[in-house]
Amino acid sequence: MINSLKKLLKTEILGKSIHFYDEVGSTNDIAFELARQGSPEGTVVIADCQTEGRGRLQRKWISPRGINLYISVIFRPFVKSSDGQLFTLIASIALSETINALGLESKIKWPNDLLIKGKKVAGILTEMQSMEDMVDFLVVGIGLNLNMSREMMQMEMAVIAETATSVKELLCRDVDTTEITANLIFNLEKWYQEFNNKGNNYIINEWKKRWGDFGRRVHVDFDDSVVEGVAFDINDKGFLLIKKDDGTIKRVISGDVKLI
Ligand code: BT5
């Protein structure tokens, strides 16, 4: 894959160095270690399968061999650590654009999911190392279900078979994994540059155009509490804003959103 991917890449920063593995624990762990050892911005780690693919809060990302995309990218932006969450937004926009170019209609679910027809096709895990209050580096990890059939989903991931989907399931055909990976890397670089040139608010507004739950009544589990109300905005750090029934506004930094 690596040679054909390099041929397709039209980027200036991302993917200049690509590490491809047959099998890893987690591409995020490999990329994090590479970043710690000084690997440059734009370094990409891709694996054919993950034995310990992770979601947030140490949840499992089911990562069968040879059919999906598991990719992590190192960023070294000159930004405050408090802006780190914006990289999940940048990646969601890039992912959504890549998927929609295939003729599908994906929607972003705050903070890190991409859904099609209400089912999860991709998830993002952003991890960061800081130096004082600035970002030292960020690793943005993306898992995207590509050529996984419904039967395979039921076999490999029975627990989530009803909440997950894949591009193949929706298009009813296999897709070219290398081409989609190249497009995703291109879009990641494009939106990273948009962020560098135009700043937080531009990214926030672009994200909101692709947000599926705008104005919907939601229930959010976060920390040890729960909040219910209308999801009506995100702030300039990417935190979710919910208007509760008593009119007060709750700011949610991280959590799981369910529609009610
Ligand atoms: C995420 O976490 O959605 C982030 C997933 C990031 C995965 C990538 S793969 C490359 C890189 N290397 C890693 O180790 N991770 C990143 P979260 O929002 O916590 O969602 C996790 C939940 O998604 C699980 O608890 C399941 O319910 C569901 N899930 C697991 N595997 C799935 C899959 N393949 N497709 C759809 N849903 C899945």
Q: Name, in order, each residue with C-beta under 8 angstroms of 34's C-beta and a sequence gap of 6 or more.
A: 19, 43, 45, 74
Domain ranges (residues) in the chain: 2-209, 217-259
- The answer to whether 142 touches 88, Cβ cutoff 8 Å, is no
The 3-class SS string of 194-220 reads HHHHHCHHHHHHHHHHCECCCCCEEEE
Q: What is the CATH number of domain 217-259?
A: 2.30.30.100
Measured in angstroms, how far is the CA atom of residue 87 from the centroid of ligand 1?
Answer: 17
* Mutation choice for ligand 1 from 19, 23, 59, 61, CB with most ligand atoms inside 8 A: 61
Residues (pLDDT < 50) of the chain are none
| 29-72 pLDDT per residue, tens | 999 999 999 999 999 999 999 999 999 988 999 999 999 999 99
| 68-96 pLDDT per residue, tens | 999 999 999 999 999 999 999 999 999 99
Evaluate: CB of 165 within 6 angstroms of ligand 1.
Answer: no
Q: Which two tokens stand for residue 215?
A: 């104005």
Q: Name, in order, each residue with C-beta under 8 angstroms of 104's C-beta and a sequence gap of 6 or more.
A: 116, 167, 170, 171
CA distances from 247 to 97, 125, 214, 242, 259 (A): 35, 32, 17, 10, 19
Give residue 224's pLDDT. 80
- The answer to whether 171 touches 103, Cβ cutoff 8 Å, is yes
Burial class (CB in 10 A: 0-12, 13-18, 19+), 154: exposed
**What is the fold, at CATH topology level, of the domain defined by 2-209?**
BirA Bifunctional Protein; domain 2 (3.30.930)
